[in-house]
């Protein structure tokens, strides 16, 4: 079954990640900076108690591989939770576009090569008050790319422009709709219409020419507070103009204040205020005129939601005559009101934003500028004067107010960790046991993982190295790369290293150098393994790549270098293996191919251009990539290093596959299929004499020696190696939150043997395309991780609780782990306080049908806990958000199937537990969506969830869908005979039982009807098996409908349908056996093949199983029949009615006259229309004897008590005993 992965990244912060800032954006208390190395920083911006703005590191986003060139923040909820209303969209120099959650940095979606050129502007395109649907990407290209804002899918490439082009949406007052305004670099303006069919039509070809004296138009910005007012930015001029009736009017230019200093950008602060800033960070506030007489409400005032987002309902009804009433140009000059300047002439990145005061009663405008300086990046805030927020045009004689930037602060000064430069250059994980760390001085340290994750800070800052750490010395200069080959292929466990000294060295895990090679002329950059099945000689080989693009193929079996291929100016791209011809072909990025002979090691031929490309396309030969190896997500634990371009390490990143780790825990002692009998590693059995000291045993050095090498032969390496027990322990330790609850810390340390992790380790999120985001260390706030976002909380909780549950199976630990789960599942919100983010319901819903039981149960437990603790307003917000994605109302063309399925499951779970929160309309849409999901065979987990929710919330959905039709669908799944549908069958049966509890008559009557109507033997057999399950598991539910059900079972034996009878005979016999065994009101006599059942109406019916017909009706009881039995010879029937207080004796063989009378009584003649019909011989028998008894209150029994304690027992041919709980009555019949 396909399921959602649960891969958790952890970061060990070595140094503060820094690089020159290239772009900045702001929204809702968050400042975002894009860096030259592709990193993105999300900062929290707050007002302190003194009323001054403060900047705090919050999230680091990793994913882009080149410089960030554009950022924008738009409306877009990610899970419907309150406060999670914005997403960040970033573009990098290589054309990649990523979408991130603003709260936690989680990458939501990613698209590569979205733009042919360099994106310099990202602008949302929306219709009136709706969220943005499209994203306009423009920049250094003659094309504009239009993306879908939700998915980032390519909608259209808008080409045909004769130059680099800038674009902005704006509101066209004449057409009363959003239009697109473009300007090429030469300033030629054009207006376009973009409709829902994704067609672009040119509306006005010659709108005007932005004359900037040769300057190129870099950016267009529309005024969201005024209609048709546009700002154009060039290097030397800021130009304002207005679009009216397809023409540019009121053209005004503002020149930079100093030659050689250029404009950077600008923003409209209100209808009459505009702020410009230059590349040095100097800002200029201007008063600008307005042509709109009617004031546009301030609800449109969203700084940095640039153009096209004006609400239609708030727009004035402009008449065309207004164009003629424009003031003359002398009155329209922008007027300078205020300047903010600095003596620092280094380049700066600036933006303006609004931020509320600490009491929330006032809002001020602030400037922030970042400067990339030699010693790092600095920043400064400046508060704009109240003039920036005033409306109206100022007098011409207004005195300009001159302000100065305050002293700047370095970003490193607000970093909460005091770093010591550790000079780490590279790290790698070594077989899930060690962390190998390379240093600038050429040393390599093999550190036990338990020590690396919990004591790294002490190790890195200490002068002495513990004995448990192996120190590898040999390289001269810094270590540039580390690699651990797959031990399953090589037999031995090796560590390979490359250095600045151009050497490649091979080490064993005891720290001994086995071999050293120096065949490169520049530093080694990385290693990779060639395809071992391509050539016998390449087996157990590794390839090293150097900075000069030279290659060396090294045999680990012989510890020798087999081939060396010289360097080349261009990067190596691919390798083609033509071993049968004796060639290895190297393809380079300049479309050049080098053919090397493997026997003589000579360069045989050099091919360029199309001939080289054709060789690469030849599919008859194996081709492999030479890129640095990426994450392997099916491993339990991996590690990489986040380095700067200069080789300085920022982060050591660990990724934990939580689900794989849980599997490793459970399968520690289970031999893997296909593994050899004598494996190289002997793992201690967790289940044999379990104890805390054995499972979690820390040595004084921090490493657990839990395995011993018994052989070094490559042929006996196991196919699968379980993770070390101490590794499991230390990973749980790193996920725990320490310092919130002292009693819990004591429990973890003393009872579970956990150790507090370093405060340099933080939790992260892995998103689309493997992109990651990490929370920053907060040494002064242990609970900081729980104050970031709903998804961050949910991911960490599920990881902790899921892993903890896996230890419940270990004897002696259940008590402690249960306390741990209670703490994180229920008590955490109170301990953290009002800033706590409740768990994301949408996140947990992804694991609702996870095949791994610990994850599935944990997700459901946490979902229920979050639902119980969540404020009603937040729950309502979630419902309002997700209801739009329900399949019953959403269009598959707009939302993907995965999103619609998740909305159905999420809202279905809420409706099942909290139906009062759902309106009738939403409940109906959920019910109909569940039906659609039931019939969706594309994903098993979705159908399983729909089955469960149909049963779990049936009382909520029943009024809104065809309950009988749904039940019939469930019956179809429940009787499925395909062995591959076992999970579907089990879930359908569970749902049926749940529905039968809610509406027993509907369920049992439908089951009875379908059993009677089924025409196919296999189908009939399935229904009978389902009845049998009911009898064994839920007999009480059948009690009130037992007579109809018994008749349906008997009819399956109809001899007139021989094929049916033969097929279902064995199943029917089994069902009848269960009926007689379970219900005292059903009895069977084998000799005569008769079945008797007492009904709730007081009659008893005798069936002849040989003919599958009714034979007699015994009438006499006035109340329900409690028990019935045949005498040993089958001649007599004895029945009892506890409610009536009688036992009656019947003789079902009344003789010839009785048979004739019974026949006439039941109308065995005609059918009233002159035709004859065949009906079974049916007679109504009267009582031959009646015995009365009085048990008083003892006779008032529940159905369960009747089934358990009421029965007849024959002690002689004509003596029978009636057992009623502890009472026994004997009758001579």
On whether residue 216 sits in a domain, the answer given is: no
Helices 1000-1013 and 1042-1051, packing angle to 10 deg: 10
What CA–CA distance (Å, rounded) separates 923 from 179?
39
Within a domain: residue 660? no
Q: Taking Cα atoms as reference points, which of 212, 224, 293 lies closest to residue 251?
A: 212
> End of a domain among 616, 631, 646?
631
pLDDT at 1209 over 90: yes
Q: Which of 598, 631, 664 is where one domain is finished?
A: 631
Does residue 624 fall inside a structural domain? yes
Position 40 in a domain = no
954 located within any domain? no
The band of 311, judged by pLDDT with boundaries at 50, 70 and 90, is very low
The domain that contains 1086 carries what CATH number?
2.130.10.10
Q: List the domain range (segments joined by +) for residue 1102.
A: 1080-1165+1172-1228
Residues 6+ apart with CB under 8 A from 760: 12, 13, 14, 417, 456, 457, 777
Give the pLDDT score at 1148.
80
- The mean per-residue pLDDT over the stretch 819-835 comes to 86
- pLDDT per position as a tens digit, 611-670: 888 888 887 788 888 776 654 544 777 778 787 766 677 888 988 889 888 887 777 543
Helix (H, G, I), strand (E, B) or coil at 667: coil
Q: How far apart are alpha carbons 456 and 589 in whole angstroms?
A: 41
Percent of the chain with pLDDT over 70: 83
Q: Alpha helix (H) ranges present in 133-282?
A: none
Is residue 1136 within 8 Å of residue 1195, measured between CB atoms? no
Would you say residue 238 has pLDDT above 80?
yes
How does DSSP classify residue 198?
A: -
* Mean pLDDT, range 393-420, rounded to an integer: 82
In whole angstroms, what is the distance from residue 954 CA to residue 959 CA? 9
Average pLDDT estimate for 40-50: 91
588, 573 Cβ separation under 8 angstroms:
yes
What is the mean pLDDT of the segment spanning 15-34?
A: 93
pLDDT, greater one: 67 or 303: 67
| Residues 575-620 pLDDT 10s | 888 877 778 889 888 888 888 887 777 888 888 888 888 888 887 7
The answer to whether residue 682 sits within a structural domain is: no
CB 1208 within 8 A of CB 1218: yes
Q: What is the pLDDT of residues 109-136, one digit of tens each?
A: 999 999 989 999 999 987 655 778 899 9
pLDDT at position 710 over 50: no
Write out the DSSP string of 117-131. Answer: SEEEEEEEE--TTSP
Tokens (6 digits) for 568: 């080349």
Helix axes 963-974, 1017-1033, angle to 10 degrees: 100
Between the CA of residue 1166 and those of 1152, 1155, 1162, what are the distances in Å? Answer: 22, 18, 11
Segment 1008-1012 shows an average pLDDT of: 91
Q: Compute the average pLDDT of residues 711-722.
A: 39
* Residue spans of beta strands (DSSP E) within 590-733: 592-597, 603-608, 622-625, 637-643, 649-657
Judge whether 324 lies within some domain. no
Q: Is the pLDDT of residue 682 over 60?
A: no
What residues pair up with 351 in beta bridges, in sequence order?
368
Cα–Cα dist 339/277, whole Å = 9
Q: What is the domain count for the chain?
A: 2
In a domain, 847, yes or no: no
Query: Could you report the per-residue pLDDT of 1029-1087, keeping only the tens digit for each?
Result: 999 999 999 998 999 999 999 999 989 887 888 889 999 999 999 999 999 999 999 99
Domain limit, last residue, from 598, 613, 631:
631
pLDDT of residue 493: 86
Work out the average pLDDT over 431-454.
85
Q: What is the pLDDT of residues 1166-1177, one digit of tens each?
A: 343 433 334 444
Half-sphere exposure of 1005 (CA within 13 A, CB side): 8
For the chain, what is the mean pLDDT? 82
Structure tokens belonging to residue 1228: 């001579």
pLDDT of residue 867: 87
How far is residue 549's CA from residue 543's CA, in Å, rounded to a whole number?
12
Poorest-confidence range of 379-393, 773-787, 993-1007?
379-393
Contact 240/231 with Cβ under 8 angstroms?
A: yes
Per DSSP bridges, beta strands 649-657 and 761-766 are unpaired
Q: 272-309 pLDDT, tens per residue?
A: 899 999 999 999 999 988 766 544 444 333 344 333 33
Percent of the chain with pLDDT over 90: 41
Q: How many CB atoms lie within 10 A of CB 483?
A: 23
pLDDT at 768 over 70: yes
Q: What is the pLDDT of residue 692?
A: 32
| Residue in 225, 272, 230, 270 with CA at minimum distance from that of residue 252 | 230
How far is the C-alpha of 848 from the C-alpha of 858, rounded, in Å?
9
Secondary structure class of 994 (helix, strand, coil): helix
Under 8 Å CB-to-CB from 207, ≥6 apart: which residues?
181, 189, 190, 191, 243, 246, 247, 248
First to last CA, the chain: 62
Give the residue from 1, 148, 139, 142 showing the smallest Cα distance to 89: 148
CA-to-CA separations, 174 to 191, 220, 1145, 1217, in angstroms, rounded: 12, 20, 97, 98
Considering only residues 370 and 199, tell me which one the structure prediction assigns the higher pLDDT.
Answer: 370
* Average pLDDT of span 133-159: 90
Both tokens assigned to 561:
């270098």
**Res 323: pLDDT:** 37
């Amino acid at each position: 079954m396909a399921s959602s992965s649960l891969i958790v990244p952890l970061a060990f912060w070595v140094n503060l990640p820094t690089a020159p800032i290239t772009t900045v954006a702001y929204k809702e208390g968050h400042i975002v900076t894009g860096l030259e190395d592709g990193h993105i920083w999300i900062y929290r911006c707050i007002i302190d108690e003194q009323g001054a703005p403060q900047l705090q590191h919050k999230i680091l986003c990793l994913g882009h591989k080149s410089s960030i060139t554009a950022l924008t923040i738009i409306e877009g909820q990610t899970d419907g939770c309150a406060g999670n209303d914005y997403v960040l969209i970033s573009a990098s120099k290589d054309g990649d576009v990523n979408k991130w959650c603003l709260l936690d940095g989680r990458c939501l979606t990613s698209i590569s090569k979205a733009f042919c050129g360099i994106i310099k502007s990202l602008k949302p395109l929306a219709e009136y008050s709706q969220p943005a649907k499209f994203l306009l990407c423009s920049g250094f290209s003659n094309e504009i790319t239009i993306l879908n804002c939700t998915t980032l899918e390519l909608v259209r490439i808008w080409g045909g422009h004769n130059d680099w082009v800038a674009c902005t949406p704006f509101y066209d007052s004449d057409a009363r709709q959003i239009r697109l305004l473009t300007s090429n670099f030469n300033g030629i303006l054009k207006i376009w219409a973009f409709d829902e069919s994704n067609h672009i039509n040119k509306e006005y070809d010659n709108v005007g020419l932005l004359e900037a004296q040769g300057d190129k138009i870099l950016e267009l910005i529309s005024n969201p507070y005024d209609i048709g007012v546009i700002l154009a930015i060039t290097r030397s001029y800021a130009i304002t103009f207005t679009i009216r009736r397809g023409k540019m009017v009121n053209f005004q230019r503002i020149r930079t204040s100093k030659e050689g200093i250029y404009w950077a950008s600008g923003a409209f602060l209100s209808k009459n205020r505009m702020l410009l800033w230059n590349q040095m960070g100097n800002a200029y506030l201007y008063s600008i005129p307005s042509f709109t007489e009617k004031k546009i409400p301030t609800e449109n005032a969203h700084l940095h939601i640039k153009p096209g987002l004006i609400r239609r309902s708030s727009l004035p009804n402009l008449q065309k005559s207004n164009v003629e009433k424009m003031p003359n140009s002398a009155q329209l000059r922008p007027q300078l009101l205020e300047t903010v300047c600095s003596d620092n002439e280094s380049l700066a990145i600036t933006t303006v934003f609004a931020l509320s005061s600490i009491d929330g009663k006032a809002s001020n405008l602030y400037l922030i500028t970042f400067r990339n300086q030699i010693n790092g990046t600095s920043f400064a805030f400046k508060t704009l004067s109240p003039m920036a927020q005033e409306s109206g045009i100022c007098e011409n004689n207004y005195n300009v107010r001159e302000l100065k930037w305050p002293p700047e602060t370095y970003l490193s000064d607000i970093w909460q960790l005091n770093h010591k430069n550790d000079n780490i250059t590279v790290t790698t994980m070594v077989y899930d046991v060690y962390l190998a760390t390379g240093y600038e001085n050429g040393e390599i340290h093999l550190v036990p993982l338990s020590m690396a994750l919990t004591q790294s800070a002490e190790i890195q800052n200490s002068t002495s190295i513990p004995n448990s750490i192996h120190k590898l010395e040999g390289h001269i200069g810094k270590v540039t790369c580390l690699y651990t080959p797959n031990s399953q292929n090589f037999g031995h466990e090796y560590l390979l290293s490359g250095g600045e000294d151009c050497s490649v060295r091979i080490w064993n895990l005891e720290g001994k150098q086995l071999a050293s090679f120096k065949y490169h002329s520049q530093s080694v950059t990385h290693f990779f393994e060639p395809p071992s099945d391509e050539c016998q000689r390449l087996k157990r080989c590794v390839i090293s790549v150097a900075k000069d693009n030279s290659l060396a193929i090294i045999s680990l079996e012989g510890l020798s270098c087999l081939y060396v291929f010289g360097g080349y100016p261009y990067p190596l791209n691919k390798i083609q293996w033509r071993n049968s011809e004796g060639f290895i072909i190297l393809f380079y990025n300049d479309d050049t191919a080098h053919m090397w002979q493997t026997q003589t090691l000579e360069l045989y031929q050099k091919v360029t251009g199309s001939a080289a490309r054709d060789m690469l396309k030849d599919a008859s030969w194996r081709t492999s990539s030479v890129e640095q190896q990426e994450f392997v997500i099916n491993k339990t634990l991996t590690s990489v290093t986040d380095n700067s371009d200069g080789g300085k390490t920022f982060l050591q990143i660990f990724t934990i596959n939580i689900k794989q780790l849980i599997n490793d825990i459970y399968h520690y002692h289970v031999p893997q299929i296909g593994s050899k009998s004598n494996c190289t590693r002997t793992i201690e059995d967790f289940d044999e004499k379990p104890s805390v000291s054995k499972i979690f045993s820390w040595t004084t050095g921090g490493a657990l020696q839990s395995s011993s090498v018994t052989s070094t032969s490559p042929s006996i390496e196991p196919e699968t190696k379980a993770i070390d027990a101490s590794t499991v322990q230390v990973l749980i330790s790193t996920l725990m939150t320490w310092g919130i609850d002292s009693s819990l810390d004591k429990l973890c340390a003393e009872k579970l043997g956990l150790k507090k992790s370093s405060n340099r380790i933080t939790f992260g999120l892995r998103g689309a395309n493997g992109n990651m985001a990490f929370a920053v260390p907060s040494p002064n706030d242990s609970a900081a991780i729980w104050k970031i976002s709903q998804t961050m909380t949910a991911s960490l909780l599920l990881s902790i609780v899921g892993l903890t549950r896996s230890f419940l199976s270990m004897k002696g630990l259940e008590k402690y782990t249960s306390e741990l789960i209670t703490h994180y599942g229920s008590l955490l919100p109170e301990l953290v306080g009002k800033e706590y983010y409740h768990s994301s319901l949408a996140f947990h819903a992804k694991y609702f049908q996870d095949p791994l039981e610990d994850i599935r149960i944990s997700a459901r437990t946490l979902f229920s806990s979050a639902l119980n603790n969540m404020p009603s307003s937040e729950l309502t917000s979630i419902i309002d958000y997700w209801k739009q994605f329900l399949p019953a109302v959403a269009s598959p063309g707009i939302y993907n199937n995965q999103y619609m399925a998740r909305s159905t499951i999420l809202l279905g779970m809420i409706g099942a537990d909290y139906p009062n929160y759902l309106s009738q309309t939403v409940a109906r849409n959920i019910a109909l969506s569940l039906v659609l999901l039931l019939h969706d065979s594309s994903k098993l987990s979705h159908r399983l969830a729909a089955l469960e929710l149909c049963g779990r919330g049936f009382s909520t959905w029943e009024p809104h869908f065809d309950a009988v039709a749904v039940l019939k669908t469930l019956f179809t799944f429940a009787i499925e005979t395909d062995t591959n549908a076992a999970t579907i069958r089990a879930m359908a049966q569970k749902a049926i039982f749940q529905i039968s509890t809610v509406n027993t008559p509907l369920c049992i009557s439908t089951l009875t009807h379908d059993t009677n109507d089924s025409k196919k033997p296999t189908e009939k057999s399935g229904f009978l098996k389902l009845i049998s399950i009911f009898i064994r598991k839920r007999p009480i539910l059948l009690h009130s409908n037992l007579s109809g059900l018994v008749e349906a079972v008997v009819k399956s034996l109809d001899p007139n349908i021989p094929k049916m009878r033969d097929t279902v005979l064995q199943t029917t016999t089994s069902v009848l056996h269960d009926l007689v065994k379970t219900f005292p009101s059903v009895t069977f006599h084998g000799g005569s093949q008769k079945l008797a059942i007492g009904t709730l109406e007081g009659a008893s019916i005798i069936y002849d199983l040989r003919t599958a017909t009714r034979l007699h009706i015994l009438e006499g009881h006035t109340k329900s029949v409690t028990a019935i039995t045949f005498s040993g010879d089958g001649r007599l029937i004895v029945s009892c009615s506890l409610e009536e207080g009688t036992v009656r004796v019947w003789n079902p063989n009344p003789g010839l006259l009785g048979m004739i009378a019974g026949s006439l009584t039941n109308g065995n003649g005609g059918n009233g229309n002159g035709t004859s019909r065949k009906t079974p011989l049916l007679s109504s028998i009267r009582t031959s004897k009646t015995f009365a008894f009085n048990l008083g209150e003892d006779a008032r029994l529940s159905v369960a008590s009747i089934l358990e304690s009421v029965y007849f027992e024959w002690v002689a041919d004509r003596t029978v005993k009636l057992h009623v709980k502890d009472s026994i009555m004997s009758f001579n019949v």
